[in-house]
Amino acid sequence: MIHGVGIDIVHNAQIKKSIEKYGARYLDKVFTPEEQAYCGARPDPVTHYAARFAAKESFIKACGPMLTREGQVFRNIEIALDDRGCPHVLLNGETARQIPFNEYRAHLSLTHDKMVSAAVTVIEKVQHGSA
C-alpha cells in the first residue's frame, strides 16, 4: 500500500552557490560524511550534491506528517548506493526513531544533468502476513 509520494527538483546553481558561500558549514549541515566523500570524489560534485538534496526533500514530502522537522533532519537522512548502484535511504538520529522502517519501504529515483537535479520517492507500507 502506498503511504506517500514526494518529488523535488533543484537548480544545481543554487547548491553550488550555497557551497561557495558557506563551504564546510553548509555541507556539514546538509550532508553526512559518507555523502560528502561520495560527492567530493565525482568529477562534478555539485550535481551529485544537488541530486541528494532533492532526494532528501522528496523523502520528507513522501513521509508527510509521519516526519517532523525537529533537529537536523537533512543530516539524519542519508542517500546511499546499494551494491548495484541503486540509491536508497538510510536514516539516523531522531529521524530513524520517527519512521519505523520495519513497517515502511522507500523507493527512490534520482536524475541530474548540468542544470537541474531531481528525485522522486515513493513510500510503501509493508504488508506483513495476514492475521
- The 3-state DSSP composition of the chain as helix, strand, coil percent (nearest 5) reads 45, 30, 25
> Rounded to 5 degrees, what are φ and ψ at 119?
-150, 150
Q: Provide the residue ranges of all domains of the chain, joining segments of one domain with +.
A: 2-125
Query: 99 or 25, which is more confident?
Result: 25
Task: Specify the 3-state DSSP secondary structure of 67.
Answer: coil
* Segment 9-17 mean pLDDT: 98
Question: Per-residue confidence at 7, pLDDT binned at 50, 70, 90?
Answer: very high
Q: Position of cell 561520495? A: 38
Report pLDDT for 99.
Answer: 82
Report pLDDT for 70.
Answer: 63
Query: 31 or 131, which is more confident?
Result: 31
* Segment 15-42 mean pLDDT: 97
Q: Tens of pLDDT along 44-94?
A: 999 999 999 999 999 999 998 887 766 568 889 999 999 999 999 999 888
CATH class in words for 2-125: alpha beta
